[in-house]
Structure 1
Amino acid sequence: MKKLIIITLSLFLVISCSTTSNETTLVDLENNDATFDWVVPTSEITGSNSPFPLALNPSYTLAKDVEFISDPSKVALISFKNGEVWAYPYRYISTYEIINDDKNGIAFSLTYCPITKSSLLFKRDFNAEDSFILRSSGYLYKENLVAIDQKTNTYWSQFLLKSIKGKYQNQTLETINLVETTWLTVRNNFPNAYVFTNTSVQSGKNSQTSSSKTAIESNEVVYGVLENVTKSELQTIHIYQYQSFASGIVVKKSKNNADDIVVIGSNNLQFITSYKISNNRTYTALQNSFPNIMVDSDNNIYDVFGIIVSGPNEGEQLNSPNAFAASFWAWESFYPSIIEEN
């Protein structure tokens, strides 16, 4: 079969999720829908009200037919109970920063901010009244992506998982688990994954990595599990470094609010993910069986997406806590209470 070679466009404008220019003025923010106030300090909002291209109905190509993605390139993977795997290379998401799609009856928005190197998957069906279509607004809060749903004129902070202006301000979006890894892992283990390959640009911008972050003490990308996100209590972040999963696949048991969770990762395969678990079972890592990663005391085998692929509960899928990978400096910027896990 003929290979598909993907060529990205190199159109970079100054206002994007990765810009660090302080272009937003107080006038800009005041003119931006005075019906609602921003619930975060406007002094920490940069950029402008200049939305990115809207990404709907994206196109995909089988991973085995895709070339010209380097092996170390980061990719977001998602999968639901039907066994299909969907891959989103960050280098192609950056044109839009948000991809809206619907798979297995679940409407979602995949968001990626090149500055903070954070990727989150949000459910678009918010309530019986509104289903969002998100796009990157052009604004940044603490140098992180701010999304907008233009139907409700509601702005959402990616890192806070909540609305910071508009009809639903201070309410949170529900997240769906994604697995961040490298193209090498995808190429070797998911040849039939559907890879997002739509790189056409209708208007505007591509993102590029900020160059003014060199003074930050730590730009290391780490995995964070959020605690008390939807509560008024102090939000605590449990941080996991990739090198702490150095020996094969490692399963670490922990607590998140009232939930028992496992955090599973591999430095070699460059992934960390986490799932809510039953405290009536024990969970053990599976070696040399990727994408299967874990077995429980009832002999259920789980793949990297938390789906039971064999065993008495075959077909079930674990739920996940609010968790994602991002640069350590960004975690410090947004959350005052950080616990570094070993």
Structure 2
Amino acid sequence: MKHLKQFMAASLILVLAGCGSVFDSSDSSRGVEGDWLIPKDEIVDGGPGPDGIPSIDEPRFSTASGVGYVGNSRLVTGIKIGDTVKAYPHQVMDHHEIVNDAAGDLPYCLTLCPLTGTAIAWERTINGETVEFGVSGWLFRNNLIPYDRRTGSRYSQMQMRGVNGEESGSPLTTIQVVQTTWSTWKEMYPDSQVLTTDTGFSRDYSGFVYGRDYYRDEDSGTLFPVQNADSRLPNKARVHGIIAERPADQDAQVKVYQVGMFGEGVHLVTDQVEGQEVIIAGSSNHNFAVSFQARPEDGTELQFEPVQDALPVIMEDQEGNRWDLFGYAVEGLRKGERLRPTNSYTGYWFAWADFFPEVEIYRFRN
């Protein structure tokens, strides 16, 4: 009940401060109409209407070394596109959920669903046109449903595809992101750009939108019902999941790796996910997990070993190449090459199990 009251209070604030959208949703009844690729009876009204939770459409940044509002243990989501390196603190993203941004000539959208803990980025060019994304106000299995302001199509964040409207069934072109703590990020990328609190909205960005326990207590509950409860892991255990194929519907083959089980330092796991050879790198104390296809574009069979105390470098291969946590070779003959990211992201266990009931859990050796 405490969490529900906190949620409703936050929702009311966001509704009052909401901004208008370019797309006229004609959503006076808030009814779920039309054809959807997800069960309509599981789509719930999260409280605010379209754009009641306002996206950030003109993000402002400061260098990491100049940011003082983020606590060391708070989470951030980082992105690296070419020479552009940016971080988005969750304590800001929790209030807005979507940032429409760009790196050079590549417009992209960074989304964070605070209820499922999932941060996912995708390109925001549709049929050759750059579009903005906004928060629809609806949820599916506790997860964010964005919409685009050109067609009004709705999307499932965790399924990474359009699920209603003109773009229904269209896959989103995702971009790798990394979730980690602020202390780890600023150590790795002290000169990176960091989203500031200068958002154009009046918010208390120092706290926890849904209460500290919702984020910090692995056994805490959810705000909305869970269809496929699974007690193999605690509800809010953070796991990195790899989806073997698209579309990422409930029949997709998925395997997850618990972030808290990687141990101290950097640990590597070489695994097979539906016949796809992958390499997963993670660290419990640095609070991250990332994954890549194990072979580069030329098909060479590389053997990786973890590299300690050299973040953002996380591994080295038998050729002497050193790779960072975004999969870029930063030293060696392959410098400038990049390992192909898997179809993956990090989020709460309950959400992965709810979206993908046949999900497999990787069992770490003691």
Calculate the TM-score normalised by the size of structure 1.
0.85
Residues 1:209 and 2:210 aligned together: yes
After superposition, what is the alpha-carbon deviation per residue over 1:261-297, rounded to whole angstroms, capped at 9, x for unaligned? 2110111111100112315211111111111111112
Q: Counterparts of 2:288 and 2:356 in 1: how far apart (Å)?
A: 23
Instruction: Report how many residues are paired.
Output: 319
Q: Counterparts of 1:319 and 1:88 in 2: how far apart (Å)?
A: 23
Q: Counterparts of 2:248 and 2:41 in 1: how far apart (Å)?
A: 25
- Which residue pairs with 2:304 in the alignment? 283
- Which residue pairs with 1:3 in the alignment? none
Residues 1:297 and 2:299 aligned together: no
The answer to whether the 8 A contact 2:277-2:294 is kept is yes
- Which residue pairs with 1:230 in the alignment? 247
Residues 1:220 and 2:237 aligned together: yes
Letter of the structure 2 residue corresponding to residue 90 of structure 1: H
Letter of the structure 2 residue corresponding to residue 29 of structure 1: G
Question: What residue ranges of structure 1 are gaps of 5+ in the alignment?
Answer: 1-10, 18-24
The answer to whether the 8 A contact 1:249-1:287 is kept is yes
Q: Counterparts of 1:310 and 1:196 in 2: how far apart (Å)?
A: 29
Q: Counterparts of 1:244 and 1:100 in 2: how far apart (Å)?
A: 33
Residues 1:265 and 2:267 aligned together: no
After superposition, what is the alpha-carbon deviation per residue over 1:95-133, rounded to whole angstroms, capped at 9, x for unaligned? 2100111103322110001111111111112433x4331
- Which residue pairs with 1:193 in the alignment? 192
Q: Matched residue of 2:71: which SS?
A: coil
Task: Label 1:204 to 1:171 Cα distance change in 2 as closer, same or farther (>3 A).
Answer: farther
Calculate the TM-score normalised by the size of structure 2.
0.79
Q: Matched residue of 1:67: which SS?
A: coil
- Which residue pairs with 1:317 in the alignment? 338
After superposition, what is the alpha-carbon deviation per residue over 1:121-160, rounded to whole angstroms, capped at 9, x for unaligned? 11112433x4331111111111110000021111001011
Q: Counterparts of 1:308 and 1:58 in 2: how far apart (Å)?
A: 29
Q: Counterparts of 1:193 and 1:152 in 2: how far apart (Å)?
A: 34
For the aligned residues, what is the CA RMSD? 2.8
Question: What residue ranges of structure 2 are gaps of 5+ in the alignment?
Answer: 1-8, 16-26, 223-230
Q: Larger relative contact order (C-alpha < 8 A, sep ≥ 6)?
A: 1
Q: Counterparts of 1:15 and 1:336 in 2: how far apart (Å)?
A: 35
Task: Label 1:69 to 1:337 Cα distance change in 2 as closer, same or farther (>3 A).
Answer: same
Q: Counterparts of 2:103 and 2:92 in 1: how far apart (Å)?
A: 19
Residue 205 of structure 1, CA deviation: 11
Letter of the structure 2 residue corresponding to residue 214 of structure 1: S
What is the aligned-residue identity percentage? 25
Residue 76 of structure 1, CA deviation: 0.6
